[in-house]
Amino acid sequence: MIRVSFRVAAAVGLVAALGCPGAPVAPDGALEWGIAIHGGAGRIPRDIDEQRRSGYLSSLEAALDHGRRRLERGATAVEVVEEVVRLMEDDPNFNAGRGAVFTRDGGHALDASIMDGRDRACGAVAGVTTVRHPITLARRVMERSPYVLLAGAGAEAFADVEAVERVDPTWFDTDRRLRSLREFLAGQGDDEPRGTVGVVARDRAGDLAAGTSTGGLTGKRWGRVGDSPIVGAGTWASNGTCAVSATGTGEEFIRHAVGRTIAALVEFGEIDCAGAAARVVGETLAPGDGGVIVVDAAGRATFAFNTAGMLRGAADSGGRFETAIWECAFRIRTPRGTADGSGRCRRPSRRPSTRGDRPCVG
């Protein structure tokens, strides 16, 4: 049976989900492995129709389940991050790969990055238009080029050198995102959850990795690039501190070097990853900016966001397996089936607000 325990994160008066008592632990006292995923943060109205809601949760579960199984069998954190992001890039529920938002001129420009916590090796691509799996190209940049970040046509030329799959740009089109572009161009804003994807993991060897992939913002122009391919902003991993993947208004995550700042708070201070994530999302960022998922050196997965919702999930070697959208509606999978956690969320009296004036942490 899955047990989830909670503790109050006193500094912000919120909640952090911990590993389970009695969980399988490594000799160093850590969980053997842990993983968290996100599928974007944003307004995500609570009255989205049931089909959409369970579609998001099922997509998150499928991705998380793949990561869980691979980590259980000893895959490395980098392998798992790439594989899970690839699955999410192919899932039109998310704004990454197929299902990416449209640029102002009706195309797609995809960004991704990956980081290996063992040695801070990292790779990223920005503004690619024909690469089916930008995360795979980012990994190739990390492992097979002397560079960290490749952009546009040059990145696509490198994809050919590396035989990374390219597709016709229409591969990324979906009706739903086209509707969002039309609404955006008509001045009606972009109310769709954006759906950037991210994965952070600690593997059985104790190594951390993080990866993020996105189509960016609906209607973006002028070669705009957000935080997702910026190592230190949208993605960070360093063994001994934390692995971080962010989602939200990229410009703010770049300005505040969110990924690196969270890890630096752990490296130079006495705060843990959960506390650092809560502090940066709650105090450095402004309400509505977005959120992060984090896994620490002991395999504990947490998240923090200051938007109405964040599509997310977490699993670990202690049996935790949860997916959630809002702060109080998570699905826990047990051997006897899937339980809908609506209304069962144990929260301290100072409940995080869905208006985004206080971050939700868990």
Return the active site residues. 196
User: At its nearest, how many Å lie between ligand ASP and the CB of residue 29?
Assistant: 34
Residues making contact with ligand ASP (CB under 6 A): 40, 194, 196, 214, 216-217, 226-228, 234, 247-250
Most distant CA pair in the chain: distance in Å?
58
Nearest to ligand ASP of 111, 316 (CB atom): 111
Q: Which is nearer to ligand ASP, 82 or 227 (CB)?
A: 227
Q: What one-character-per-residue DSSP string does 43-70 give? A: ---TT--HHHHHHHHHHHHHHHHHHHHH
Closest alpha carbon to 94 in 48, 138, 58, 59 = 59
Nearest-approach distance from CB 163 to ligand ASP, in angstroms: 27
The amino acid at 56: Y
Nearer to ligand ASP, 237 or 297 (CB): 237
User: Nearest distance from residue 220's CB to ligand ASP, in Å?
Assistant: 8
Report yes or no: 211 and 135 within 8 Å, Cβ to Cβ: yes
What is the spatial distance between Cα 252 and Cα 12, in angstroms, rounded to a whole number? 21
The CB-of-212 to ligand ASP minimum distance in angstroms stands at 8
CA distances from 276 to 80, 86, 263, 348 (A): 24, 28, 8, 19
**DSSP character string of 223-248:** T---STTSBTTTEEE-TTSEEEEEEE
- Alpha-carbon gap, residue 31 to 332, rounded angstroms: 19
Least distance CB 268 / ligand ASP (angstroms): 26
Give the nearer residue to ligand ASP in terms of CB position, either 20 or 311. 311
Cβ closest to ligand ASP, residue 43 vs residue 351: 43
For the chain, state the CA radius of gyration: 18
User: Residue 106: exposed, middle, or buried by beta-carbon count in 10 A (0-12, 13-18, 19+)?
Assistant: exposed
Nearest distance in Å: CB 123, ligand ASP: 18
In the complex, the smallest distance separating the C-beta of residue 280 from ligand ASP, rounded to whole angstroms, is: 15
Specify the residue, 249 or 317, whose C-beta has the smaller distance to ligand ASP.
249
d(CA 305, CA 308): 8
Beta strands in the chain (DSSP E): 5-9, 14-18, 34-42, 110-116, 121-128, 149-151, 197-202, 208-214, 235-237, 242-248, 290-296, 301-305, 309-316, 321-324, 330-334, 337-340, 360-361
Q: How many CB atoms lie within 10 A of CB 287?
A: 14
CB 115 within 8 A of CB 209: yes
Which residue, 77 or 258, is less far from ligand ASP as judged by CB? 258
